[in-house]
Chain A
Amino acid sequence: MKVSLKWLKEYVDIDLSPAEIANRLTMAGNEVKAIQTIGEGWGEKVVIGQIEAVKPHPNADRLRLVTVNLGKEERTVVCGAPNLNVGDRVVFAFVGAELKDGHTGEKIILKPAKIRGIESAGMICSEMELGISDENQVIMVLPEDAPVGMTLLDYIGDSILDLDITPNRADCLSIIGIAREVAALTGKMVREPEVSYIERGSSIFERISIEILAPDLCPRYSASLIHNVRIKPSPRWMQERLVAAGMRPINNIVDISNYVMLEYGQPLHTFDYDKIRGRKIIVRRAQSGESIISLDGIERKLTSDMLVIADAERAVAVAGVMGGANSEVTDQTTSILLEAANFNAASIRHTGGLLNIASEARYRFERGISPGLTIPALRRATQLIAELGEGEVAKGYLDIYPGQQKIVPIVVSSEKVKRFLGVEFSQAEILNTLTSLGFECKAISDTDVQAKAPYWRNDIHLEEDLIEEVARVQGYEKIPLTLLASPIPSRNPDPLLKLKHSVREILASSGFTEILTFSMVGLDMLKKLSPDLGTVEPPPVRIANPMTADMEYLRTSLRANLLSAFAMNRRFEEGSIRIFEAGKVYLPAGKRQPEERETICGVMGGQLFAGYWQENERMMDFYDAKGTAEIVLERLGLNSQFVLSHDSGLHPHKQAEIIVDSTRVGIIGEVHPKVLAAFEIEEPVYLIELNLNCLVSLISYRKPYQPVPRFPSISRDIAIIIDREITHQRVRETIQGFPLVEMVEIFDMYMGEQVPPGKKSLAYHIRYRAQDHTLTDEEVNQIQQQILRKLNADLGAVLRG
């Protein structure tokens, strides 16, 4: 909402600067986004002049020597504009004036110049040079009554406040609404326009009738009738104000309806009375199949949930949204039926949205303006049409008000104000503040004030609403700063959030960088994860109104975005890439809300230590991913097992489920080469995926401590030759089963020429320790022999020579 300060001053005295007024309005809830100053820098240097003479330039065909009368003096300057007419009022800038460059628009200070040998001190300005518009071909010509010698600042200077009106304050979408705010905030009185006009001839009741068939959508419909109107341009002052507010002047009737809408906040509509058939206005829902050609010439198909204004035969307007071409006011119009109505906000929003029509009227109606506004705005517009359109007003006006509601007074107590705001305002302060906003107030006890909201406000329903009025006008800065004084509620932290945080920290300290991607994905991305299936299991939850196909579904896996991110980063990165995401996946649950599973997924690939000097480089493999998973689980205090698994998105033989307490909590593996190819990744990538919802129930954070050993250990190495199929886990468990074995660690595995075909060599480091004495070599040798015999008997292992 753009508000001219000059216009605003007609309704309220303002003795603060534009910036100060803007600040007061902003603090009280009507934010001023910007202040546009018309005439900034003009001062005394830019004045109104009249062209006295235009003579040719002796040295240039296109240039003229122009003499301008400035009241007290005359000046002659060189000018090249094509529209130089003796007698015209123009804008003259003295040397030193702050103007805009006529080509670049940049700020300049006018300097004396010699143009083709003639001194030229000063300039006749175009609108662009004045910063008013982009017009730079012709000089600006002012109206004939522009006072010669007056500064342009005094003549057209202004400040335009650009306000952001909150949805609850449709009453502030008007100059008078803002004037009321300014008055309350600065202790001034509002001057509303005095409205009076003469009614002549027949009564409106004999000429037209109104029937509201949909009172739920039209609480009030008011109308007046004006005959013998002359359609012509509106006066300059009205046009200027419309332009300043961002509207285009059309003719006096349209301009008056727009002007009064800006002034009062009540949208108005004008019909050509002679085009209304059957002398009847019917407010009804559209019939199915009905259509109307709106003022913009587009045929609009109407549905039965849309409200129309109709005559006896057809729709003549889409109520509150746009008029119809069939009843439009034209140059031939002589009788105007003026409408000031109130419509249901939700209905207007619905209709405007369906028809895709954005209008100033719709904007106000859909915010819910007060029905109390119709008559003041109707009478004001009728007055202006009578004055500026030279019309004759028919006697009386129509006012059908099925939605009339009694304004119920609300009681606010100074005690509640104190208890609610934490600062005391006296009963008198409360009463005065509300009165300044137009409330009808009276004190009904020592503390209580009864307040009745003014007719233009429809956002006041509760005591809290009145408390806000008091607080915002008095100023939020009067409320002190205190900290919550009551005891802290005792509640346990969410274990899932704690777990998520822990795992993220562990992964980051293990070299993984966190990414954060959109939860919405395209189906093709999910399909890429299971190349052999051709479908996505489980079927992802679809968004009914997706923005694009690549954000149509809720992700069922974090893998797709991670692999895309891997591929994208590989374009810039050599060496290792380790990334992870912690977020939800969304699994369908029939008609219920999807299961939102907290998942952490990491992918890794490339050289183990990228880009470091003096390192023996090797590529990451499965065991790097497994090691990361082991560290995560160990840090969480969990004992885990890894069991060969069958995830179709992973390499058939290089994957393992992570099992904790016989619950599957995640998976690790090499991403299936086909999946990698689908993501255009040309190297092995390893993945760790953890289901935090499963993990969280298994964590106790209370793992008992192991005492530090008191007796020394003895270590032995052992190398065996064994069938390739026999897993490390079986060997390890066999050794681990013996007493005094504290730890078994593999340190070498070999398959190749040095061992027989089908065999492998495994080398273990075994640490022995007794809890109650220092071990002897003999004890250890004995167990070691037993171990070898058992390995041989159970697994066919032989000692490597």
Chain B
Amino acid sequence: MKAIKTGEEMLNQLDKIKSEAIVELDRATDTGALEAWRVKYLGKKSELNQVLRSLASLSIQDRKTVGAAANSLKDYLENIFKAREKAIKEAQIVAAALKETIDVTLPGRRPPVGHLHPIAQTIQEICEIFSSLGFQIVDGPEVELEYYNFDALNIPEGHPARDNMSSFWIDITDESGKRPMLLRTHNTCVSARVLASQKPPIRAVSPGKVYRYEASNATHTPMFHQLDGVAVDKNITMADLKGTLSEFARRFFGENRKVRFRCDFFPFVEPGVEMAIECAVCHGGGCRLCGNSGYIEILGAGMTHPEVLKKAGLDPAIYQSFAFGMGVDRLPMLRYGIDDLRLFFGSDLRFLRQF
């Protein structure tokens, strides 16, 4: 028969349980040892539980003191148990993860992903720039009437500019035996249609395919791409032309490329403008790429010719307009250093997958 303990003895016993429990918990490094510890110190038959059960034998004063100390010890032991349990589980996860190894240099499994054509990407990029400047994207027929391709643009029959744009004519004749249709030689005919069909203010760009009777070589193909634009309002100036096209060049080519505007001739504008950007290779010093000029021609532009406005039913005394047109295909050629235009139309996946 065990002797009945005094309150002070019980308090001493609790201190002893606590110090033993801390030491033993430190030694429990796996879930089995941890469970044994739990049974020993927090189980029904644990020494602590015995202390709690024997409180009745104490005086009221001692009962309060010892009871509080025993419950406090129980909370304490439960807390350190939980912390230990969490630490052991984490250690196990880490240990398990450390056992898993793979070869990270093996190739990834990809969902099949295709590529948009570099010319289509370029057109998209240019259209986004002009869209943000308030230009509408428009389209027009590729099989065009001679009128819109030439006459409406101040290029009457016999004009020397027709020589520079050798045409593919459609094998359909009208009543007079003339062939009235051709594959458009430039996208400016879409601008002519926009001028004739919309009411000012107008801002529009049209990207698309154009056709010229030229044999394929590294720099020419019978089909290529242009993007043409036109803006009409009462107060549009040549300074607006320069500003708008400079902004395009800044966004497309980057901040630090110099832009040069010089006089040039196109029948549908007056004054005529050519915009060139500083050569990326020589930075204006002159090299083979830019033909020693230091600049690379990007687009033709100008103030829309009064005759063109008149033909579209717009009064040049009221409206002023600028227009521009650029070859699209050259832009990715310059950007990626592509030296043969034919690659774009060759459908070779080994080429197209690079973009």
Known: A481-B246, A482-B240. A613 touches B106 (CB 8 A): yes
A448-484 with Cβ < 8 A to chain B: 462, 464-465, 467-468, 471-472, 476-477, 479-484
B207-233 with Cβ < 8 A to chain A: 209, 211, 213, 215, 221-223, 231, 233
Q: Does B327 contact A (CB under 8 A)?
A: no
Q: How far is the CB of A16 from chain B (nearest CB, A)?
A: 17
Q: Name B264's contact: one of A29, A517, A583 (CB within 8 Å).
A: A29
B232-257 with Cβ < 8 A to chain A: 233-240, 242-244, 246-247
Q: How far is the CB of A206 from chain B (nearest CB, A)?
A: 39
Known: A29-B263, A516-B345, A519-B209. A480 touches B239 (CB 8 A): yes
A354 and B247 CA atoms in complex are apart in Å by 46
- Interface contact B114-A489, CB-CB below 8 Å: no
**Interface-facing stretch out of A228-236, A591-599, A639-647:** A591-599
- Interface contact B114-A513, CB-CB below 8 Å: yes
- Interface contact A484-B231, CB-CB below 8 Å: yes
B82 contact set on A, CB distance < 8 A: none
Q: Does A124 contact B (CB under 8 A)?
A: no
- Interface contact B209-A33, CB-CB below 8 Å: no
- Interface contact B124-A485, CB-CB below 8 Å: no
- Interface contact B265-A489, CB-CB below 8 Å: no
Q: Does A496 contact B (CB under 8 A)?
A: yes
Q: Name B238's contact: one of A471, A517, A541 (CB within 8 Å).
A: A471
A168 and B171 CA atoms in complex are apart in Å by 32
- Interface contact B349-A577, CB-CB below 8 Å: yes
Interface centre among A482, A551, A586 (most CB of B within 10 A): A482
- Interface contact B142-A468, CB-CB below 8 Å: no
Contact-residue size bin, chain A (C-beta under 8 Å from the other chain):
35 or more
- Interface contact A519-B142, CB-CB below 8 Å: yes
Known: A29-B263, A346-B157. A422 touches B237 (CB 8 A): yes
Q: Does A546 contact B (CB under 8 A)?
A: yes
- Interface contact B345-A472, CB-CB below 8 Å: no
Interface centre among B139, B160, B200, B234 (most CB of A within 10 A): B160
A517 and B347 CA atoms in complex are apart in Å by 7
**Interface residues on chain B, number (Cβ under 8 Å):** 93
- Interface contact B114-A578, CB-CB below 8 Å: yes
Q: How far is the CB of B24 from chain A (nearest CB, A)?
A: 48
- Interface contact A420-B213, CB-CB below 8 Å: no
B104-158 with Cβ < 8 A to chain A: 106-107, 109-117, 119-120, 124, 133-134, 136-139, 141-145, 157-158
A376 and B350 CA atoms in complex are apart in Å by 63
A120-140 with Cβ < 8 A to chain B: none
Closest to B344 in A: A516
A519 contact set on B, CB distance < 8 A: 142, 183, 209, 211, 223
Q: Does A295 contact B (CB under 8 A)?
A: no
Q: Does B37 contact A (CB under 8 A)?
A: no
Known: A420-B303, A481-B239. A568 touches B347 (CB 8 A): yes
Q: Does A113 contact B (CB under 8 A)?
A: no
- Interface contact A518-B345, CB-CB below 8 Å: yes
Q: Name A489's contact: one of B134, B344, B352 (CB within 8 Å).
A: B134
Closest to B293 in A: A26
A504 and B306 CA atoms in complex are apart in Å by 40
Q: Does A793 contact B (CB under 8 A)?
A: no
A514 contact set on B, CB distance < 8 A: 114-117, 120, 352
Closest to B302 in A: A468
A28 contact set on B, CB distance < 8 A: 262-263
A350 contact set on B, CB distance < 8 A: 158
Q: Does B272 contact A (CB under 8 A)?
A: yes
- Interface contact A520-B136, CB-CB below 8 Å: no
Q: Does B292 contact A (CB under 8 A)?
A: yes
A40 and B171 CA atoms in complex are apart in Å by 55
- Interface contact B242-A591, CB-CB below 8 Å: no
A347 and B158 CA atoms in complex are apart in Å by 8
Q: Does A576 contact B (CB under 8 A)?
A: yes
**Interface-facing stretch out of B6-14, B27-35, B93-101, B162-170:** B162-170
- Interface contact B116-A518, CB-CB below 8 Å: no
A615 contact set on B, CB distance < 8 A: 109
A776 contact set on B, CB distance < 8 A: none
A129 and B136 CA atoms in complex are apart in Å by 60
The contact string, 1 if C-beta is below 8 Å from chain B, for chain A 557-581, is 0000100110011001100111110
- Interface contact B233-A546, CB-CB below 8 Å: no
Q: Does B161 contact A (CB under 8 A)?
A: yes
- Interface contact B168-A546, CB-CB below 8 Å: yes
Closest to A366 in B: B160
Q: How far is the CB of B128 from chain A (nearest CB, A)?
A: 11
Q: Does B323 contact A (CB under 8 A)?
A: no
A516 and B164 CA atoms in complex are apart in Å by 25
Q: Does A508 contact B (CB under 8 A)?
A: yes
A367 contact set on B, CB distance < 8 A: 160
Q: How far is the CB of A567 from chain B (nearest CB, A)?
A: 10
B45-88 with Cβ < 8 A to chain A: none
Q: Does A544 contact B (CB under 8 A)?
A: yes
- Interface contact A420-B143, CB-CB below 8 Å: no
Q: How far is the CB of B201 from chain A (nearest CB, A)?
A: 4
Closest to A504 in B: B116
Closest to B238 in A: A421
Interface centre among A488, A568, A609 (most CB of B within 10 A): A488
A554 contact set on B, CB distance < 8 A: 143
Q: How far is the CB of B77 from chain A (nearest CB, A)?
A: 42
The contact string, 1 if C-beta is below 8 Å from chain A, for chain B 255-292, is 00000111111010011110000000000000000011
Q: How far is the CB of A326 from chain B (nearest CB, A)?
A: 29
Q: Name A513's contact: one of B158, B198, B215, B353 (CB within 8 Å).
A: B353
Known: A349-B163, A479-B239. A515 touches B347 (CB 8 A): yes
Known: A346-B158, A476-B262, A480-B242. A518 touches B222 (CB 8 A): yes
A484 contact set on B, CB distance < 8 A: 133-134, 203, 231, 233, 236, 240, 243-244
Q: Does B42 contact A (CB under 8 A)?
A: no
B347 contact set on A, CB distance < 8 A: 515-517, 561, 564-565, 568-569, 579
Q: How far is the CB of B104 from chain A (nearest CB, A)?
A: 14
Q: Does B320 contact A (CB under 8 A)?
A: yes
B181 contact set on A, CB distance < 8 A: 593
Closest to B275 in A: A476
Known: A468-B270, A507-B114. A485 touches B265 (CB 8 A): no
- Interface contact A489-B201, CB-CB below 8 Å: yes
A614 contact set on B, CB distance < 8 A: 109
A472 and B238 CA atoms in complex are apart in Å by 12
The contact string, 1 if C-beta is below 8 Å from chain B, for chain A 349-392, is 11000000000000000111000000000000000000000000
Q: Does B26 contact A (CB under 8 A)?
A: no
A30 and B109 CA atoms in complex are apart in Å by 58
Name B's A-contacting residues (CB within 8 A): 106-107, 109-117, 119-120, 124, 133-134, 136-139, 141-145, 157-161, 163-164, 168-172, 174, 179, 181, 183, 198, 200-203, 209, 211, 213, 215, 221-223, 231, 233-240, 242-244, 246-247, 260-265, 267, 270-273, 291-293, 303, 305-306, 320, 344-345, 347-350, 352-353
26 pairs of residues in contact across A and B, judged by CB atoms under 8 Å = A28-B263, A29-B262, A34-B291, A346-B157, A420-B237, A464-B270, A468-B263, A468-B271, A477-B261, A479-B242, A482-B239, A488-B134, A491-B136, A494-B138, A510-B114, A513-B349, A513-B352, A514-B120, A515-B352, A519-B223, A520-B222, A520-B223, A544-B179, A546-B168, A576-B112, A586-B142
A-B pairs, top 3 by smallest CB distance, nearest first, are A346-B158, A422-B239, A511-B112
